[in-house]
A and B are shown apart, each in its own frame.
Chain A
């Protein structure tokens, strides 16, 4: 079997707009059904996380750290690492270690989805 990464793209909510509980509930249920569907069709989920919005992202090109998501010009998403770090300083230091010589990396916090 081969491995694939499914990337989820969707519109972001406006700044400060809270997710209504019923929408959150529906999304959790939908992802639950997705997980069942994957198993039923003979596949396997190896891992998955919800990400915090792009407003919490930090990008690194070379040694230059900037606020915001990675501005793609001619680069395309080429890979990912899910890391554990103490804080953003630590995560950025690890991001700088990550080889992306002709592009850069974006460091985005993973959302804590435990307990709503």
Chain B
């Protein structure tokens, strides 16, 4: 079955080939094995076994020409063995697998025509009948191949807690018979939005870690971008997927400039734009232009367009705020979220002045959905500081500080508080 590669190197070479295959092919191998196994746990176990067996086999026979196909064939064979052996022990509620209508390959055993089931896997992990936190955990576990310990660490919960969350979600998939299927065209927009929300949540969690001493969790950011690339390759016509990838690339392009040498948080207006990642910006802008074509854009495309305007601007002051404000108006129609309204208030301040921006923020303070939202208080504080209203700014910075758990954000807010004349012992 293997097709040896001529001139393979030693153990290190093979080991890195296995690691590379794990990074690139895990989801493909698991998704294809789940179809045969009819059970996610068995599929996971067999996929892991196949990666485990790859090192020895590839050392002996050479690295196969198509590592993904080799791994899938191996994992599927193991799954069939397990099913034969454990026929009596097999769960009574197997994973509910239905053939895709447009899938001509069926259950072909030829490694070259293994159907790509990754989309089924993604849509099953992000099914609306699962809680958001379970969707995120399952996606990291099953699609990205992260261990439970790694996911627990990323979301600052204990490993047993995360293990229970993953187990419960897997049980619900089989017990409630959540189908292993890509939704049909009528359901697709809504279901795809849930998938993209999970990927974006991963990204934002990584981009500004909700707590702890690290501002950015690069691992989560990379995972989110990797997932979006995978989704775009599988669904090239879905504009929102393209928009989400663009949004994340354009946002992450500022990565190197978000902290100063002392680890202090730098706002967009303070960042050294010459150090932004121009390759990421170029790729992001191209994706935005492509995604804007063809009718009314969705929320991720609009957000990406706003991010592109920021990325193109030579400075904070000469940013095209007028157009950004127009885009926020469009975004608010597509996605009536109070967080969007808050971001829009900043654009209002830049176009119509600080006082107009503050009035918008104060109007939003009445929205119960923003109660306890840390960026509401910090935005208000910043506008009051610029309007030279120190007493009110102190109160708002204190409120923002009480809500912030990330160390870099806390240091930033404490610095601003001291600047406007508040006592500095709040740290």
Contacts and interface: CB of A to CB of B under 8 A. Distances in A.
A88 B168 contact: no
B17 interface: no
A58 B129 CA distance: 6
Given A15-B167, A67-B134, A112-B92, A52 B129 contact: no
B175 A109 contact: yes
A112 B131 CA distance: 25
A56 B171 contact: yes
Nearest to B184: A89
Interface string B121-137: 00000011111001000
A15 B96 CA distance: 22
Contacts of B171: 55-56
A77 to B, nearest CB: 20
B129 A88 contact: yes
Interface in B165-210: 167-168, 171-172, 175-179, 181, 183, 187
A105 interface: no
Contacts of B313: none
Contacts of B92: 112
A109 B176 contact: yes
**Interface SS of chain B: helix, strand, loop or mixed?**
loop
B179 A112 contact: no
Contacts of A109: 175-177
B164 interface: yes
B317 to A, nearest CB: 43
A56 B131 CA distance: 11
Interface residues of A, number: 20
Contacts of B167: 15-16
**Interface SS of chain A: helix, strand, loop or mixed?**
mixed
By CB atoms of chain B within 10 A, which of A52, A88, A112 has the most? A88
Contacts of A100: none
B93 interface: yes
Interface in B38-93: 92-93
A52 B176 contact: yes
Given A15-B164, A56-B175, A58-B176, A92 B129 contact: yes
Nearest to B178: A88
Contacts of B187: 89
A112 B172 contact: no
Interface string A1-41: 00000000000000110000000000000000000000000
A88 B177 contact: yes
Given A55-B168, A55-B171, A112-B93, A67 B131 contact: yes
14 contacts: A52-B175, A55-B168, A58-B129, A67-B129, A67-B134, A67-B172, A68-B131, A86-B179, A87-B96, A87-B177, A87-B178, A88-B179, A92-B129, A112-B93
Interface of A: 15-16, 52, 55-58, 65-68, 86-89, 91-92, 107, 109, 112
Closest 5 CB pairs of A and B: A67-B131, A58-B129, A56-B175, A87-B179, A65-B128
